[in-house]
Amino acid sequence: MKMEILNKLSKLVEKTAKTVWLNNISNDYILGRLYREASLQDCFYYHMRRELGDSTLDYFKMFIYPEYYYQGKYVDMAILVKQEELEVPIAIFEFKYLDSTNDKLFYADVSKVVDYIKNDTICKFFLGFIQEVEYDYPENFSWLNNNQKLLAAGRVIEMTGGFCKPNEDKSHWFIKST
């Protein structure tokens, strides 16, 4: 399969993931369908598969794997394209869902993704984080520091949800692409 097709599939996956996060996952959250990280992963998988459709997945030999072994570690989810005998990852997902102000686990996933980028030139990486805290986050909030942003430019999509501004009941959902 040509690089041009892999790039188009990568863009399709990115567009679909963003739609799923902002529309489906936020709605699942509001309806109480998410109960921590495992259910977040399951719901995201379900919506991605439904949105991409079996005909697209079959035609392009795309596969969605939960708990995929990648660069010596397990990632929460991966989307791959099969080329001859090879499986080419085009999207890697890491998810976190915590109701804690302790954000060390979130930043551990960020570091893991940044390390993956150093050894992969094709794949896009998605951080799907729900942190249920009251937080007056800045408009330009990012999980990545400035050095990580430089390395991750064009490769990482941050999908964040669960933050509530002080004195608000509504959770906020947003996406930031590096």
Separation of first and last alpha carbons in the chain: 27
What is the predicted pLDDT for the residue at 55?
A: 95
Residue-wise pLDDT for 139-165, tens only, equals 677 887 888 888 888 899 989 887 666
Domains: count for the chain = 1
CATH value at residue 77: 3.40.1350
Task: Find the range with the poorest average confidence among 45-54, 63-72, 98-107, 145-154.
Answer: 98-107
**CB contact at 8 A, 62 and 51:** no
Cα 126 to Cα 117: distance, rounded to the nearest angstrom? 12
What is the predicted pLDDT for the residue at 13?
A: 96
Cα 150 to Cα 111: distance, rounded to the nearest angstrom? 13
Which residue do the tokens 């501004």 mark?
A: 165
Cα 178 to Cα 170: distance, rounded to the nearest angstrom? 26
The boundaries of the domain holding residue 63 are 3-177
Amino acid present at 31: L
pLDDT tier, 14 (very low <50, low <70, confident <90, very high otherwise): very high
At 149, which helix (H) or strand (E)?
helix 146-152
